[in-house]
Amino acid sequence: MAKTILITGCSSGIGYDAAHGLQKAGWKVLATCRREEDCARLRSEGLISFPLDLSDPASIEAGFNEALARANGRLDALYNNAAYGCPGAAEDLPPGALREIFETNLFGLHDLTIRAIKVMRAYGENGEGRIIQCSSVLGLVGIRWRGAYVATKFALEGLTEVMRREMRDTGIHIITLNPGPIPTKIRVNSIPHFEKWIDWKVSARREQYETSLLKRLYSPSGKPDMFELPCSAVTDQILRALTDPKPKSHYYVTKATWLAAIARRILPLRAQDWMFSKA
């Protein structure tokens, strides 16, 4: 019988590719999105899809209950993919922007995670299952203009590390996935959050916004980022994380992520600052 995985954030990009890729690999995929219209599109493509919005506790509860009903009460894996960015200089981020992004990228994710753990504990002698948390290269290094997103991913890295150690006496594996540059809609999807929260015209960094961030947001070059890989490269690593007999704590995707992981270990802070100031 096919194993079942619940995935969040499947409307496009990494989640979309993972949903289709894992289904082709023989998994029963429960592909969720924030909006019903996106779920309807996925259903038309042959996926099982229903709404689950990590910013809404009621939607999390309803979506998780729907997942259990679709899976006959058993959930073998959870891939927490959904997240968004709110670009802007850290000094221009109002507290409300941080509260809002943490609600989706960490608090809602954690709510779904602990619900899954409670279900997985019922399998086998000590529980059984795999939970993959989608972090980022920005969960390893802080890069300018991305303070809000970086903060959520650093927090996710820490919370996941603790949970991984605490769950070692069970059969439930907690795994971190760290994609680097991947062509997704995260940049486009971040624009409404930037426009809602960042008053760049009165910022002390207005000139820097005009020469850097605004061009990246509104007039991208169209060229691939350095070390960029397709979404399928992430799906390949998800499959490894789900099937490796002894899964790793972290699965890195793209050379940029490997370099960031190595740099944190061996380079002094000044060298790290120089290396990542170019991003």
- Using alpha carbons, list the distances in angstroms from residue 166 to 170, 183, 247, 267: 9, 34, 16, 30
CA separation for the pair 119, 131 (Å, rounded): 12
Residue 98 three-state SS: helix
Residues labelled catalytic: 149
H/E/C letters for each residue in 247-275? CCCEEEECHHHHHHHHHHHHCCHHHHHHH
CA separation for the pair 273, 279 (Å, rounded): 11
Query: Token pair for residue 33?
Result: 């999105």
CA dihedral 195, 36, 63, 133 (to 10 degrees): -50
